Amino acid sequence: MRVAALAGIVAIFFIFAFVFMKAAPVISHSGLGLVSKSGFDAQVSEAFYAPADEPMYVFGMLGLLLGTTLTTLISLAVAGFFSIGAAISICELAPRAVASPLIAVVRLMASIPSVVFGLIGAMLVVPFVERVFVTVDMQIEYLAFFQISGRNLLTSVIVLTFMIAPTVITLSTDALRAVPDIYRETGHAFGMSRFRVVWRILLPAARPGITAGFLLGAGRGVGEAIAVSMVCGGVGKIPSLAHGFAALLTPVLPLSAAIINKSEAMSVPAVESALFACGALLLVLGTLFSLAARLIVRRTGGVGNAF
């Protein structure tokens, strides 16, 4: 047992070490510009065509970083909202005859391979977004900034939402089911309505489990490569609030999708190092996410303050 745990820790250490070693040339040449500057797409082709004796190691990944953060946070918010609602319906409102098939469907959804989500996204969601939200006038208006198509931030968020939701629903249902019945009875004995019992008693009691669901969902959002790379647009633009709604239609390129999209150019050492830098950023981002979540749980999860 202890040996296995130790082996796991050592393995994780080596993964970090290997990724950062491979990424070192790009990180050292780019410095802080790696996370504060953009232009990754142009830099990749520049590096690809650079002469072998003067390789190009300077990259800016702000666009990719924002792509990952935005797609993950927005889809987590949307999926979280609906997932908690779904979990409440399954556990507290639906009769057993409805609840069991529902939960079976949710678990099935969680096991669909992500490439299938990507395929459905590319075949159904992309044309849908294009038809509903994109107009020719809009395309002309924003031509100076980016080319609007059906592959963009919004599409990525829609696809990711469906991929995150099953995880969050499953863990939230488990958490709600684990709340002892005595808490429900206590609430009802005080004459609270079903909704108030859920809101004031069950959700707070289930919060640690629900938070775990959000964490796993965030993990999937950050790490999801294939499905997102099929619908995200493949250009690391930075959505700008100045564009209003069109900001949602900005083509993006999250870090993990970038690794897939640009992997054809990996024969060039500089590009390879750049992609490992993407991987390094992903590792850092994942660590930050889980630290932040732990902090949030510690701040709000306890029962320290009465009001």
**Residues in contact with other proteins by the rule CB under 8 A:** 93, 95-96, 182-186, 188-196, 200-201, 204-205, 302-307
Cβ-in-10-Å burial (0-12, 13-18, 19+) of 267 comes to: exposed
The nearest distance, CB 128 to other proteins, in angstroms, is 31
Taking residue 222's Cβ as centre, other Cβ atoms within 10 Å add up to 22
- CA 230 – CA 117 distance, rounded (Å): 9
Q: Which is nearer to other proteins, 14 or 195 (CB)?
A: 195
CB of 35 or CB of 99, closer to other proteins: 99
Whole-angstrom Cα distance, residue 58 to residue 288? 25
Nearer to other proteins, 180 or 244 (CB): 180
Listed in sequence order, the residues at least 6 apart from 107 whose beta carbon sits closer than 8 Å to its beta carbon are: 166, 170
In angstroms, the first-to-last Cα distance of the chain is 44
Instruction: Give the nearer residue to other proteins in terms of CB position, either 81 or 195.
Output: 195
Nearer to other proteins, 206 or 247 (CB): 206
Rounded least distance, CB 60 to other proteins, Å:
48
Q: Are 272 and 57 in contact (CB under 8 A)?
A: no
Q: Which has the closest alpha carbon to 251: 146, 126, 158?
A: 146
Min. distance of Cβ 224 from other proteins in angstroms?
A: 34
Task: Report the C-alpha gap between 24 and 3 in whole angstroms.
Answer: 31
Beta carbon of residue 267, minimum distance to other proteins (angstroms, whole number): 57
Q: How far is the CB of 101 from other proteins (least distance, A)?
A: 16
